[in-house]
């Protein structure tokens, strides 16, 4: 299971009622709440996560049943697949997050551009800010 964990913090979260969040809920299993080190920015109606030493970002961990297939459509959704227009707004990487069972490595999508000029979501919780 360790290579199939996904940390989500915005429009893919369990309580968010969007088509991609519903698809993720149907194709993956919610493991529980999680937190990651970094800052969360309010972009155009969705968040951008920039990992780092400052701040804490709230989200959830999902266990992906078919990690390869799910990450492929998520790469398309996040517009960071190989054939997506450049420059990518997001990139997928693995980072350490704090889950209910301790620290684990999980895939996540991080903001790949300069966040200067975007407001910070001070709570680190996108759903609490909408």
What CATH number corresponds to the domain at position 59? 3.10.490.10
Total structural domains in the chain? 1
Which pLDDT score is estimated for 127?
Answer: 93
How many whole angstroms separate alpha carbon 55 and alpha carbon 2?
Answer: 25
Over range 54-61, report the average pLDDT.
96
Tell me the three state secondary structure of residue 70. helix
Over range 48-61, report the average pLDDT.
95
The percent of the chain in helix, strand and coil, each rounded to the nearest 5, is 20, 45, 35
Tell me the three state secondary structure of residue 40. strand
User: Please, which residues have CB within 8 angstroms of residue 3's CB and are 6 or more apart in sequence?
Assistant: 67
Write the DSSP symbol of residue 16: -
What band does 45 get if pLDDT is binned at 50, 70 and 90? confident
Both tokens of 34, joined, read 């999680």
Both tokens of 24, joined, read 């993720």
Which pLDDT score is estimated for 72?
Answer: 95
Expressed as residue numbers, the domain containing 22 is 2-129
Contact between 107 and 59 under an 8 Å Cβ cutoff? The reply is no
123 versus 44: which is more confidently predicted?
123
What band does 129 get if pLDDT is binned at 50, 70 and 90? confident
């Amino acid at each position: 299971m360790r290579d199939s964990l996904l940390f989500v913090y915005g429009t893919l979260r369990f309580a968010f009622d969007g088509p991609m969040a519903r698809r993720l809920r149907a194709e993956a299993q919610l493991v529980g709440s999680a937190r990651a080190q970094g800052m969360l920015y309010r972009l155009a109606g969705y968040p951008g996560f920039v990992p780092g030493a400052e701040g804490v970002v709230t989200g959830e961990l999902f266990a992906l049943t078919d990690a390869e297939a799910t990450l492929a459509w998520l790469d398309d959704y996040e517009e960071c697949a190989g054939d997506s227009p450049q420059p990518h707004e997001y990139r997928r990487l693995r980072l350490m997050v704090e889950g209910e069972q301790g620290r684990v490595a999980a895939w996540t999508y991080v903001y790949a551009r300069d966040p200067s000029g975007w407001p910070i979501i001070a709570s680190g919780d996108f759903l609490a800010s909408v």
